[in-house]
């Protein structure tokens, strides 16, 4: 048991160090030697857990949705909650930061059969949006898959522009602005009004809960 715990701690240290180095240098600028130095571990320790830099990057990208902690509601508000939680946590979590930096480098390490992060986040949002459609929160003509893909693309663009303008500090507000413009176009008037009210005042970085900002 002690050995398993040590192994788990070592793996977690490698993931965190890898995330920090990828976030700072991108995939091309990172190297296994830089990652092991950051983790204060040997190359052997890294290769015991990950066969390559590519596999480590894939694992960081794969784990992204699991890192977002959101008291997401059902339906349309659940989709909004998830994106706002991601935006609020991005600047504080090195693994999420690494995922944001690696998004443009996926061609170098993602296997086509595994799917990329765009597809991954689309699949995260789809259950919420399908439920929203079934509950009558979305307009009848809305294509749920296309909407999920649009939201993922918009969030990706928002975080990239936010990084350039503010080091991602204004990302939550950009996401609120995105939803305030999008909701009236895809949701029923009642559902759009309810969720927009729940977005809360400007500058509140927390996901919506119980109809109010946290």
**106 and 14 together in one domain:** no
* Helix, strand or coil, per DSSP, at residue 109: coil
Instruction: Classify residue 206: in a domain, yes or no.
Output: no
* Domain shared by 70 and 168, yes or no: yes
Same domain, 91 and 120: yes
Residues 119-148 have pLDDT tens digits of 889 999 999 999 999 999 999 999 999 999
Q: Residue range 198-210: average pLDDT? A: 51
Q: Are residues 82 and 156 in the same domain?
A: yes
State which residues form the domain around 41: 2-62
- Residue 46 and residue 78 in one domain: no
C-alpha pair distances (Å), 75 with each of 125, 137, 151: 10, 8, 15
Q: Which of 85, 67, 86 is nearest to 208 (CA)?
A: 85
Q: Are residues 130 and 160 located together in one domain of the fold?
A: yes
Say whether both 11 and 82 belong to one domain.
Answer: no
Q: Are residues 184 and 115 in the same domain?
A: yes
Residue 207 domain-assigned (yes or no): no
pTM comes to 0.81
Total tally of structural domains belonging to the chain: 2
| Same domain for 88 and 23 | no
Q: Is residue 204 part of a domain?
A: no
Going by C-alpha positions, the residue among 90, 96, 69 that lies closest to residue 175 is: 90
pLDDT band at 212, cuts 50/70/90? Answer: very low
Instruction: Report d(CA 58, CA 38) in Å as an integer.
Output: 19
Residue 38, domain CATH = 1.10.10.60
Contacts of 22 (CB under 8 A, 6+ apart): 30, 57, 60, 98, 101, 102
Q: Is residue 74 assigned to a domain?
A: yes
Does 205 map to a domain?
Answer: no
Note the pLDDT of residue 112: 63
Under 8 Å between Cβ of 18 and 60: yes
Is the dihedral angle over the CA atoms 185, 181, 80, 110 positive or is it negative? positive
**Is there a single domain that holds both residue 135 and residue 103?**
yes
Does some domain include residue 209? Answer: no
Please check whether residues 94 and 152 belong to one and the same domain.
Answer: yes
Convert the pLDDT of each residue in 36-48 to its tens digit.
Answer: 999 999 999 999 9
Looking at residue 140, its pLDDT comes to: 97
**Angle at which helices 189-198 and 171-186 cross, to 10°:** 170
CB atoms within 10 A of CB 42: 10
Answer whether 39's CB lies under 8 Å from 13's CB.
yes
Looking at residue 79, its pLDDT comes to: 95
Output the pLDDT for position 70. Answer: 75
The CATH number linked to 181 is 1.10.357.10
Q: Across residues 182-205, what is the average pLDDT?
A: 82
Closest to 40 measured CA to CA, from 15, 66, 13 = 13
- Judge if 22 and 116 occupy the same domain: no
């Amino acid at each position: 048991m002690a050995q398993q715990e040590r192994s788990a701690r070592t793996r977690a240290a490698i993931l965190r160090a890898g995330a920090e180095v990828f976030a700072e240098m991108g995939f091309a600028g990172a190297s296994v030697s830089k990652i092991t130095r950051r983790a204060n571990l040997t190359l052997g320790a890294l290769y015991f857990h990950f066969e390559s830099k590519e596999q480590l990057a894939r694992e960081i990208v794969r784990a992204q949705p699991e890192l977002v902690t959101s008291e997401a509601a059902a339906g349309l508000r659940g989709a909004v909650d998830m994106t706002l939680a991601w935006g609020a946590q991005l600047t504080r979590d090195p693994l999420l930061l690494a995922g944001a930096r690696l998004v443009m480098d996926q061609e170098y390490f993602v296997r086509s059969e595994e799917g990329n992060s765009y597809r991954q986040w689309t699949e995260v949002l789809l259950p919420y949006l399908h439920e929203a459609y079934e509950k009558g929160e979305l307009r009848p003509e809305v294509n749920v898959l296309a909407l999920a893909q649009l939201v993922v693309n918009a969030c990706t663009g928002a975080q990239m522009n936010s990084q350039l303008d503010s080091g991602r500090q204004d990302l939550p507000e950009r996401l609120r602005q995105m939803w305030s413009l999008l909701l009236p176009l895809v949701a029923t008037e009642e559902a759009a009004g309810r969720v927009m009210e729940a977005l809360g005042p400007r500058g509140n970085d927390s996901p919506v809960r119980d109809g109010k900002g946290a």
